[in-house]
Structure 1
């Protein structure tokens, strides 16, 4: 595991993803957290793997999920320890219902692979809602755009860069 200040990272290739580029362009301070991702079947999920391998509270590590409301796709960012509440997400964006988007659609529209989808630097911009529990922490982790590569940052900065809303969308 390495924990490196994003603004001071100079070695480039490993630390450069659309997510880190977006944060640097916005002037946001962040940290890079890397760990060896297991290629084994992920029974519990990528976010819980990150929390476990980095020794962090799973409520502080957030996963990025894409939902489809029937008229648009929306990004929900929730703690790895919980689930995305589809009714709550739909209500926040003014939709009648929401369901998880097909993984192939999520990969195509985000530009990232499942397990490495970052809310930042996505190929297609989407309305984003961050679970309000993120505001309980000075720093949260989100995927940096690769499996085994997370970014730690202030949740207020994440919300600002994404023009995101904060709401209780986690179960």
Structure 2
């Protein structure tokens, strides 16, 4: 697996951030179906990857700002666990418009990497069970495959059991 960002053909803020950080990653593109009910499960199926290795990016509101949760697409975000890891009293799902404005990405293509504003980020601890995981590359139909440790490092994330 090497860097693949030739000629800017798949250049997104996420690929730019990974390249700038010297992180090894692979671009995994697929034809996005606008009728798909779950962007993450669609990616897993289209790429032939176990859904436990494909991670979605969800933004939450802590009451004092937004934060990012990164967890397997076949699991749900445990809001209580997310609040606990962040040291917040409680969290709620962020308004989609606020999530897009903060991240610079559109819902269904929000990458945890290369967001406009660096936010507190938590990666589900199950990521460490895999050699590589896939996250959105910054647009629908584009995933990036990288080592969990690199995902944590490039997003300055904490690890925690936030999926149920």
Same fold (TM over 0.5): yes
Runs of 4+ aligned structure 1 residues displaced above 6 Å come to: none
Tell me the distance in 1 between the aligned counterparts of 2:131 and 2:4: 20
In the alignment, does 2:137 pair up with 1:141?
no
Q: Indicate the residue corresponding to 1:109 in structure 2.
A: 102
Structure 1 length normalisation: TM-score? Answer: 0.93
**Displacement after TM superposition at 1:29 (Å):** 0.2
Q: Does 1:17 align with 2:12?
A: yes
Asked whether the equivalents of residues 26 and 161 of structure 1 are also in contact (C-alpha less than 8 Å), the reply is yes
Are the aligned partners of 1:139 and 1:153 in contact in 2 as well (CA < 8 Å)?
yes
Matching residue within 129, 151, 158 for 2:122:
129
Determine if the alignment matches structure 1 residue 7 to structure 2 residue 6. Answer: no
Q: Which residue in the other structure is 2:26 paired with?
A: 31
The question of whether the paired residues in 2 share the 8 Å contact of 1:6 and 1:32 is answered with no
TM-score normalized by the length of structure 2: 0.97
Deviation of residue 11 (structure 1)?
3.1
Match of residue 84 from structure 2: 91
Which of 149, 160, 163 matches 2:156? 163
In the TM superposition, what is the alpha-carbon distance from 1:9 to its structure 2 partner? 3.6
- Which deviations, in whole Å up to 9, do the C-alpha atoms of 1:115-160 show, x marking residues without a partner? 0000000011100000000000000000000000000000000101
Contact 2:67-2:121 within 8 A present in 1 as well: yes
2:113 alignment partner, SS class: coil
- Root mean square deviation of aligned Cα: 1.0
Matched length: 164
Q: Secondary structure at the match of 1:11?
A: helix
